[in-house]
Chains A and B, each alone.
Chain A
């Protein structure tokens, strides 16, 4: 089943064209990895899937992005779109408040105020992010006091708390140590049963380890999009091969 259908997407930052004629179909309940050298547009494409690019002045878009057949650049409520399409950032960004309030922030935003319900959501979200056991005794403590890896899993829990359908992850482990990274990779693999996951990564081993499909980006274009296995063992384009064998990038 297709979740996102991107057709002929051009994206401009002012006069700079950051994405050129992108066509991609992203399958539901799979992990799709975006790889490519810095500045190739992979994060830009990721951010256009929940319209976080709207926050950037001078950003303009042509083309279509359909989520379950609905044009997300059409007449829709952006806040509801972002509820359906959650995001985890490169640098863990828990809010400077308690762990509990961090996770409850999203549900509260979307109108849930009952204490019982919130308690339940906070617990389930933290369990789903595989961090409940570590944090359950310090829910009222500041979220800034936990380690970077825990903060990132807390951010995943916070994103899960609004019950999204899709999770966008922008290099979620690039600021973390190897142990935290492997915890988060395990978590991502578990989450794919319930969520569609799109992950931007600089780490090609990571793409191989966790993703089902991989798109290779270069200078704003999708050079190749295929199953991860094909991309890494049997690339069709020369650019892809050069990149994955480390000849540049």
Chain B
């Protein structure tokens, strides 16, 4: 009787464990089954490297969007990584306890804000600010990068902070015993020792930035053309899918799914490098 119960429970556990794998598997099948034929119809080369996206003329080149995603993400990293890593250093090694109790929940809150709210903030605050003080019409690559930079901060801060805290204290003591100041030990012993964790946080940040959709659509301008500069509008892969999915049909629709395939492969590469980094840190 007990044996049967045990076997039954084991099946339930196995099934639960498999659920997420099945989900990923199904998404994979759906994406590739719909996307690959479209790619071959358009031509892989024309699809990935084509500079024109004009569905009405049957031109399906997504290079502008690929570059758009990469540029916006790079901008977000440029803004988010220095601020995020330095914040993590401050929180783990310099911050007085009282202030920590204030900052930490604030960062956690930042992580919990829905992206559409970020988008609204961008639309109401950042877009007019850029338009009035820097140039362009406001809905430009720079705005999207700044907003995304803010959005990836919690990821970078939290992951980096735990990496920095995980550095054994005997490294720090070794540094201090050689006559290095607290600051020098922090930046030249602890930070290098936490390197792989900090890189992992950056990779996760890239993943978050490249997959972000709603906030970007609201501030990026979304023109489907080759990116022309920081103060010009830009369209990302995610934006491309969401904006046109509502009315697309036939090959156009399949081309959008193929866009998702490209995005999926991007994320796959990012996750792979994340797990490689993690393995190295152990």
Q: Does B171 lie within 8 Å of A79, measured CB to CB?
A: no
By the criterion CB–CB under 8 Å, are A89 and B173 in contact?
yes
Spot the interface stretch: A29-37, A60-68, A90-98, A226-234: A90-98
Does A97 lie within 8 Å of B178, measured CB to CB? Answer: no
Asked if B184 CB lies within 8 Å of chain A CBs, one says yes
Report B's interface with A, CB cutoff 8 A.
168, 170-171, 173-181, 184, 188-189, 192-193
Q: State the majority secondary structure of interface residues on B.
A: helix
A52 CB → nearest B CB, Å: 6
Q: Does A83 contact B (CB under 8 A)?
A: yes
Per the CB 8 Å criterion, the residue count for chain A at the interface is 25
Is B179 within 8 A of A83, CB to CB?
A: yes
A153 beta carbon closer than 8 Å to chain B: no
Q: B179 to A106, Cβ gap below 8 A? A: yes
Nearest B-chain residue to A79, judged by Cβ: B179
Closest residue on chain A to residue B169 by CB atoms: A55
A18 within 8 A of B: no
Specify which chain A residues have a CB less than 8 angstroms from the CB of B171 in the assembled complex. Answer: 93, 95-96
Chain A's nearest CB lies how many Å from the CB of B27? 39
Offer 8 A-B interface pairs, CB within 8 angstroms, sorted by A: A52-B177, A96-B192, A97-B192, A109-B179, A110-B179, A159-B177, A159-B178, A162-B179
Q: How many angstroms between the C-alpha atoms of A110 and B181 in the bound complex?
A: 10
CB-CB contacts of A120-139 with B at 8 A, as 1s and 0s? 00000000000000000000
* A42 within 8 A of partner (CB): no
Give complex CA distance A50, B178 in Å. 10
> Which residues of chain A have C-beta atoms less than 8 A from B173's C-beta?
52, 55, 89, 93
- A109 near B184: Cβ-Cβ < 8 Å: yes
* A84: min CB distance to chain B, Å: 8
CB contacts (< 8 Å) of B168 on chain A: these are 93
Nearest to B184 among chain A residues (CB) is A109
| Chain B residues, CB < 8 A from A89 | 170, 173-174, 177
Q: Mark A69-91, 1 if CB is under 8 A from B, else 0.
A: 00000000001111100110101
**In the complex the two chains form, is A82's CB within 8 Å of B177's CB?**
yes
Q: Which chain B residue shows the least CB distance to A155?
A: B174
Measured CB to CB, the nearest residue on chain B to A87 is B177
**Please, how many angstroms separate the alpha-carbon atoms of A155 and B173 in the complex?**
12
Determine the distance from Cα of A87 to Cα of B172 in the docked complex, in whole angstroms: 13
Q: A79-B181, A95-B171, A96-B171 are in contact. Are A52 and B192 (CB under 8 A)?
A: no
A167-191 CB contacts (< 8 Å) to partner B? none
Q: Which of A50, A82, A93 contacts B170 (CB 8 A)?
A: A93
Contacts of A109 in B (CB 8 A): 178-180, 184, 188
- Answer whether residue A213 sits at the interface, using C-beta atoms and an 8 A cutoff: no
Residues of chain A lying within 8 A (CB to CB) of residue B178: 82-83, 86, 105-106, 109, 158-159, 162
B179 nearest CB across to chain A (Å): 4
Residues from chain B with Cβ under 8 Å of A162 in the complex:
178-179
The docked-state distance in angstroms from the alpha carbon of A109 to that of B178 is 8
Q: Which A139-173 residues have a C-beta within 8 angstroms of B?
A: 155, 158-159, 162
5 nearest A-B residue pairs (beta carbon): A83-B179, A87-B177, A82-B179, A93-B170, A106-B178
Residue of chain A at shortest CB distance from B181: A79
Instruction: Kindly list chain B residues whose C-beta atoms are within 8 Å of the C-beta of A79.
Output: 179-181
Q: Looking at A50, A87, A105, A158, which has the most chain B CB atoms within 10 Å of its CB?
A: A105
A82: B residues at CB distance < 8 A: 176-179
Mask: chain A, 97-113; 1 = CB below 8 Å from B; 0 = not: 10000000110011000
CB distance from B200 to the nearest CB of A (A): 16
